[in-house]
Structure 1
Amino acid sequence: MEYPEAVLFDRDGTLVRDVPYNGDPALVEPMPGAREALSLVRSRGLRIGVVSNQSGIGRGLLTWSQVDAVNARVDRLLGGFDDWQVCPHRPEDGCACRKPRPGLVLAACAALGVRPERVVVVGDIGADVAAALAAGAWPVLVPTPVTRPEEVARAPRTAPDLLTAVRTALPIALTAGGA
């Protein structure tokens, strides 16, 4: 029986409240239960990463330094992460990294030295789930008011909040295929 070696989290709407195209670290506010969820993952000795689409860079609404400043604030508030993967592209750019494609998840797995099938990905929308599945990882969807009903219906695993998502994910016995 194998258990997860790492947990990857979406940033906006999952770890912190979603502020569209946020370039201001002062606006960063952790989601309820985020600190407790991350503490639980760390207590199990698992690696933790963040995978985040930031199309505001590609759209010219944000700079890399603004995104880095927001990420640094998230890092300080929530205890530090082992890896950050950010896609700066617009949806129409067709890149391999932007969720729902698997690039961010695969890059995080490589950086953390873990196989995708040993990784849980926690996010708040269908693109997070799709990226996890495409990479061969295990998705857990934590719906928010912006999550569409069809995304919830298609998700292999859901949880009502971040702490429950982590509690659900950690005891999962992993098998090939991620679903």
Structure 2
Amino acid sequence: MSGFVKSLRSLARRLASKRSRANGARPAEAGAAWYDAMFAANPHYHCHYRESFYYFLWTVIADRLRRAGVESVLEIGCGSGQLAALLFDQGLREYTGVDFSAAAISLAKKTAPQGRFIVGDAHAQELYTGLSCDALICTEVLEHIEDDLGVVACFPPGIRCICSVPNRRNDAIDKHT
């Protein structure tokens, strides 16, 4: 195990301990059915990427990928495919998106039909093996996963990785804020 992953795990344990003492237990991780309902009902996930409140973040990500010469991406927690659509519009050649919500994947296939989308579990090591990509993206996802560091440990070693978590307090996901 790399020193980076060990450091992340250590930090997570300290933060979890501090949070437990201060706030009590964290709510359980939401299941796929909850996200299926959210993706079906929330109009945010049905709009063009330029109308999303994540648009600025996505443009920064697209810029970093372009500057690095990235041609293929794996996105963990791809949601409705809005970031994929932006990346294709910016010239990305290959994209694989993974989400454990079947409703999100259904939307993503419509939003960015040139992408490859998979209903899958970010914890599944086989998801990462044999995949050839230049970069991995995981935006606004890790805070929703109880074993987030277990997911990070699955990332292929040496891959360019862009991850983000919210910078605001939210008691439901207060893990990284």
TM-score of the superposition, structure 2-length normalised?
A: 0.41
Larger % of helix: which? Answer: 2
Between Structure 1 and Structure 2, whose CA radius of gyration is higher?
A: 2
